[in-house]
Amino acid sequence: MKKYAEADIVNAIEAIKTGASIRQTSSRSGIPRTTLYNRLHGSQPHRTSSSDRQRLSPAQEASIAQWVLAQAALGLRPTHAQLKDFAARVLALQGDTRPLGRRWIERFLGRNPALRARRGGKLAEQRLEEAGAEGAGPATRRGRVVHSRLEGLGMVWMELGD
């Protein structure tokens, strides 16, 4: 796993432009020489270059993230299924009715680390009781939800938000 941020790359490129060698800057900053060389010659970060292939724009994803945080502030943390439904509605406004991919939630949360998942508490228990499905919680492995018998019904035992 890389131990440098985009800001580190920008600082290293500035150092190279002011006269430092790529090899020297690479060894000091811990950034691979190939990364510095490629950036100096016009390549873009993966996140930036792949954003045009995403169905939701970065601005739309940011507004969805703000919606999740607003719901969490009200005490109404959305479930994964509710988040996916909300994103599908945003896409439907553009005329895109194709369903989101199976791993969209996981990748969306990876792109928006402020939306860390929390273990469901009393609110999640209350939702399950209202649905009439006591005791149908998920199997977990190392703190992550592996599967849930209620996932297809929109009831996942993880809630989003801070």
Q: How far from each other are the two terminal CA atoms of the chain, in whole angstroms? A: 26
| 18, 88: one domain | no
Average pLDDT estimate for 90-116: 90
Q: What predicted TM-score, i.e. pTM, was given to this entire model?
A: 0.53
| 153, 85: one domain | yes
Q: How far are the Cα atoms of 62, 64, 67, 105, 156 from residue 90, in angstroms, in the given order? A: 12, 9, 12, 15, 21
Residue 13 has pLDDT above 70, yes or no: yes
| 16, 93: one domain | no
Residue 156 has pLDDT above 50, yes or no: no
Q: What is the pLDDT of residues 15-28, one digit of tens each?
A: 999 999 999 999 99
Q: Please tell me the total count of domains within the chain.
A: 2
Q: What is the pLDDT of residues 39-92, one digit of tens each?
A: 888 887 766 666 667 888 888 999 999 999 999 888 888 999 999 999 999 999
Q: In which band, very low, low, confident or very high, does the pLDDT at 4 lie, cut at 50, 70 and 90?
A: confident
Average pLDDT estimate for 85-112: 91
| 127, 92: one domain | yes
> H/E element holding 117?
strand 117-119
Asked whether residue 1 is domain-assigned, the answer is no
Question: Domain containing 17: what range?
Answer: 6-43
Residue/partner pairs of 87-96 with CB below 8 Å, 24 or more apart: 87/56, 90/56, 90/60, 90/63, 90/64, 91/55, 91/56, 96/55
